[in-house]
Homo-oligomer: A and B are copies of this chain.
């Protein structure tokens, strides 16, 4: 796939393009078990370690995927509609709900698994990391649970021991697909942090409406904005994950399609609670609102002209993109 166009970062219009080679492989055993995998060329080194792309087997008893899998929560509920030729990327993918586990999280423990089982209109999901970040042949790990002591004079190794353990990050979810609506529910846990997510969509008068509600406990590692070289909000230096934790996220989406034209919009609110440290500084809870709107025109043959605008409290300025995306 590829894309090319111009993004407006709030200060400058910038060229933004990319090209990716994606490899999708499938097979079938003699007894009819299907299996496959996919990896992009550009993250193939992580694919070789199991922390990018994934492999899967699928049969009567469901589908099991291993690698950089999404969580059960995300599988059951999903995200808000994306806008722009960079699919929301120009604004830091604010249409994506910040799921606690999977989809790039927990990969310090190596590959994750996702199990999916569908019966009639109901799909059940379960996902997990392996709970061990010990590096070993054929499986990566941050290995930050081992501490070694060295001779202060000679610098030689004296002893190593495991000083802490990792927790399995896991998630379960389910969704139900009716004729004119879909509803999903998910739960995830990673260390002390917890997540409950509820979402659904329905089509009404030709417009697909969607809603997501996520409630978090002890979700205290948040990154703020993508505003400049420092990655910080220069205007408000109290905004750090020491002072705030993510309490709730909820969002609404709408998509309208007619022939080659698609118009989409989303609204999202992230509710931040002050931590004890934040309260000690007399800080108050904060809400971050984000709003995006965009339009796509399908040229056929895999080419789509697209543009989007996003205005968000997470960003200092309103941002936009306009360009073409290709599927080939």
Residues of A at under 8 Å CB distance from B? 2-4, 6-7, 9, 11-21, 23, 25-31, 33, 35-45, 47-50, 53-57, 64, 66-67, 86, 89-93, 109-113, 129-132, 134-139, 141, 143, 146, 148, 156-160, 162, 226, 228-230, 232, 234, 237, 299-303, 321, 324, 326-328
Report the copy number of this chain in the oligomer.
3
B29-A44 in contact (CB<8A):
no
How far does the alpha carbon of A108 sit from the alpha carbon of B12 in the complex, in Å? 15
Q: Which of B57, B148, B229 contacts A229 (CB 8 A)?
A: B148
Q: Given A226-B137, A299-B31, A328 and B14 touching (CB < 8 A)? A: no
B303-A15 in contact (CB<8A):
no
> Contacts of A20 on B, CB cut-off 8 Å?
39, 44, 47-48
Q: Given A4-B66, A44-B21, A326 and B134 touching (CB < 8 A)? A: no
> Contacts of A56 on B, CB cut-off 8 Å?
4
With both chains docked as a complex, state the minimum distance between the C-beta of A83 and any C-beta of chain B, in angstroms: 13
A9-B41 in contact (CB<8A):
no
A21-B19 in contact (CB<8A):
no
Q: Which of B33, B54, B328 contacts A17 (CB 8 A)?
A: B54
